[in-house]
Amino acid sequence: MANYDEILNWYQTFTPNPEQRKNWYGSVAETYDRVRPKYDRAFLARALAVAEVPQHGRILEIGCGPGTATRSLAQMGYYVVALEPSLEACEIARQHVAAYANVEIINTNFEEWEPENRSFDAILAATSWHWVAPDHKHLKVAFVLKDRGALVLLWNSAMQPPSHIFAHLAEVIEGDLPTFATFKDRDTELSEIRVFATIAIESGLFVNLIEEYRSHQVDYSIDDYLQLLTTYSPWIALAPERRRELLESLRILLAQKCGDLIPLAYVSIFHVASKR
């Protein structure tokens, strides 16, 4: 993602069809829930503290997926309205928060959702803001936020093996997945993700942008790493047979290079901006 136009229309790389976009992750919702990294509870709490969300405040979550961040928000005692267009992801999220009366999960997207005179202390998008259609989204967020409310953009970057391992993987996938075959260091990840927050500030509706990040390293089994890959959009967009072929090639390669476990790194980032 090299420029504003690519950022604003990111999802159209994979599907310009609004109906397809609503259920893009539907087929991998269970896998997504199992292998995608969670959001560190302390880091999420820090983001909400920076956003000055009051205790038991009202949060609108955009694109909650299978409830990756929603569970923590529920446990922290916030009142949450979570929007998710994928029915499969909605059902998983509802299971995760079934014990919490302070959470409402609605099967819709932000574009079609009607506020019905509701307002919120914060609007949070956890690795989902790039899927919201750019037309008027900042205006709608500002409209729904209370005075002094905050937009909170929370991200986990794509998980990557070390560069020397990634180079071998890239040789296998670059013909089919050129955008996924480029290794990104931490500074590149931060710079690309920061563009979304910069665009929000440039809308003139938000001020006082604050950014914080934390770096993580974890070990995955080869099976879990290959399953993780299937939850990333470039892989979802592949023809099923070709995806299976590439994954099998990677399985053989990783067994040779890594043994049983593959080390992965990623960055958690938040951007908080206050309503003007």
| Number of domains composing the chain | 1
As a residue count, the chain comes to 276
Residue 245 inside a domain? The answer is no
Residue 191 inside a domain? The answer is yes
148-192 pLDDT tens trace? 999 999 999 999 999 999 999 999 999 999 989 999 999 999 999
Residue 152 inside a domain? The answer is yes
Residue 97 inside a domain? The answer is yes
74-131 pLDDT tens trace? 999 999 999 999 999 999 999 999 999 999 999 999 999 999 999 999 999 999 999 9
Structural domain of residue 34, as residue ranges?
A: 4-156+184-219+267-275
Name the CA radius of gyration of the chain, rounded. 19
Q: Domain with 104 in it: what CATH number? A: 3.40.50.150
Span between the terminal Cα atoms of the chain, in Å: 28
Residue 29 inside a domain? The answer is yes
Distance CA 178, CA 201 (A): 31
pLDDT score, position 1: 42
CB of 193 within 8 A of CB of 269?
Answer: yes
Residue 226 inside a domain? The answer is no
Phi, then psi, of 261 in degrees rounded to 5: -120, 150
